[in-house]
Structure 1
Amino acid sequence: MSKLPAPAADGFCAQAWEHTAQLRKAIVEHPFNTGLADGTLDREVFAFYIVQDARYLVGFAQALAAAATRAGNAEDAAFLSGAAQGALVEERRLHAGYVTEFGLTDEEIAGIGTSPSCLAYTSYLRACALTESYPVLLAAVLPCFWVYQHVGSAILESTGDTSGHPYRAWIETYADDAFAEAVLTARELTDRAAATADAETRQQMLEAYIRATEYEWMFWNSAWIKEEWPTAAFLG
């Protein structure tokens, strides 16, 4: 596992990272993630999370693909389009492995409704892709990279040896050196976009980053409680 270098002290990412310090701490210390770390997380809770995450990744990939079309150079466009493909292929392969391990049938998966928090988060990213500027869209998708890498690394650091761990594949995916490199690239890309943005756009970027990080906490919490629509009882 490699530790990411600190963001540039005067860059956007440093400001966003510092601004969300308490929220980031709350994410790492959430019961879902502490249970994930020590292996005690209920398998049904994790299965619910996996189903929601697979659905979320579709919206995330669409937002990344939209960002790729607005990139100012071929290198940035290639990174963003590659990340979109990775969200749909590589990470969903991880999900498929857990679905098989847990013995979930297609009928059981279809029977798990999309949670309010999952729909809200994906809708937010899609809305950013449609209505916000390129720098703001980059800030909105960054937490899914950065927060996951932070959580995965924190869990790996706390557990040490993951051999025999029931959630080893998940931990090693997000604490992996290759994923850390992707996070660093996403940070650098966002910092560059912010460096040429005006003050109003930078403020919008910060707001988007904060909101997406809030959705990260809500997403894990929704899995922890296996969140359902409170109106379901009124719809038969």
Structure 2
Amino acid sequence: MSELPDPPADGFCAEAWARTARLREAILKLPFNEALTDGSLSREVFAFYIVQDARYLVGFAQALSAAATRSDDADDAAFLAAAANAALLEERRLHAGYVEEFGLTDAEIAGVETSPTCLAYTSYLRACALTESYPVLLAAILPCFWVYQHVGTAILEATGGAEGHPYEAWIKTYADDEFARGVLAARDLVDKVAANSDESTRERMHEAFLRGTEYEWMFWDSAWRRESWPTAEFRDR
């Protein structure tokens, strides 16, 4: 799958994508993604990332479900609900794969603490679902779709198709045609909603899209560092 076609030049998504160009370039240059691209990423770091990602997907699915309940268009609600279901199915798949590949028990996985960044990102999406308007919630959700497809496609192209790559399955998940169709549908929905919103709402949407993209940067960075709670040593047990 090649990079997605450009969104309509006069739409919200084209402007949001342009506003985050430097941030997206920085995401591609993160140590995690550079090591993922050349295949040198350690299994320990990748395993930590997968555990955090599985937990993130639960919060992401909740935000999608909330958006589905707030849509007054049956087709849009169906798309959002289906995306929420797909996120939960992916969470289960990641969990099962982690158990199988690394030989860990459910108790051992439960013992991996949710990172500060993972908690912050999911909390942000849940907060948007509770306190923001429907258009702003959609804008906050969109980076997870679009940035992942962008990164997956960039890595696929850099690896010449990822055949035989140690992380081939992950790369192809986010660079394939089915995922791209979902991204296009999400992007079209956000553009449609933004076109029917006032200027103040559209600016709030831009703030939410930027914040979501910033959290994407932080998520990969925190996985590289296997981020822990700096206050853990002060806990009374």
Residues 1:155 and 1:98: Cα distance change in structure 2 (over 3 Å):
farther
Alignment of 1:148-159 (within 5 A): 148-159=148-159
Residue 166 of structure 1: how far off its partner (Å): 1.3
- Confirm whether residue 85 of structure 1 aligns to residue 85 of structure 2: yes
Residue 94 of structure 1: how far off its partner (Å): 4.1
SS at match of 2:40: coil
Query: Counterpart of 1:217?
Result: 217
Residue 38 of structure 1: how far off its partner (Å): 1.2
List alignment gaps of at least 5 residues for structure 2. Answer: none
Residues 1:37 and 1:95: Cα distance change in structure 2 (over 3 Å):
farther
Q: Say whether the 8 Å CA contact 1:142–1:209 is kept in structure 2.
A: yes
1:143-181 deviation digits (Å, cap 9, x = unpaired): 000000000000000001322211111101000100001
Alignment of 1:36-75 (within 5 A): 36-75=36-75
- The residue type equivalent to 1:155 in the other structure is I
- The residue type equivalent to 2:185 in the other structure is T
Q: Say whether the 8 Å CA contact 1:94–1:170 is kept in structure 2.
A: no
C-alpha distance in structure 2 between counterparts of 1:92 and 1:150, whole Å? 24
List alignment gaps of at least 5 residues for structure 1. Answer: none
C-alpha distance in structure 2 between counterparts of 1:97 and 1:28, whole Å? 25
Residue 78 of structure 1: how far off its partner (Å): 0.6
Q: Say whether the 8 Å CA contact 2:3–2:150 is kept in structure 1.
A: no
Root-mean-square deviation (CA), in Å? 1.1
Q: Say whether the 8 Å CA contact 2:65–2:80 is kept in structure 1.
A: yes
Alignment of 1:222-233 (within 5 A): 222-233=222-233
Q: Say whether the 8 Å CA contact 2:57–2:87 is kept in structure 1.
A: yes
Query: Counterpart of 1:193?
Result: 193
- The residue type equivalent to 2:118 in the other structure is C
- The residue type equivalent to 1:186 in the other structure is A
C-alpha distance in structure 2 between counterparts of 1:161 and 1:14, whole Å? 27
Structure 1-normalised TM-score? 0.97
Q: Say whether the 8 Å CA contact 2:55–2:91 is kept in structure 1.
A: no
Residues 1:232 and 1:94: Cα distance change in structure 2 (over 3 Å):
closer
Query: Counterpart of 1:32?
Result: 32
Alignment of 1:47-196 (within 5 A): 47-90=47-90, 92-196=92-196
Count of equivalent residues: 236
Residue 95 of structure 1: how far off its partner (Å): 4.7
SS at match of 2:121: helix
Range moving further from structure 2, 90-99 or 157-166: 90-99
Range moving further from structure 2, 197-206 or 3-12: 3-12
Q: Say whether the 8 Å CA contact 1:47–1:99 is kept in structure 2.
A: no
C-alpha distance in structure 1 between counterparts of 2:110 and 2:91, whole Å? 19
- The residue type equivalent to 1:196 in the other structure is N
- The residue type equivalent to 1:205 in the other structure is M
Residue 99 of structure 1: how far off its partner (Å): 3.7
SS at match of 2:104: coil
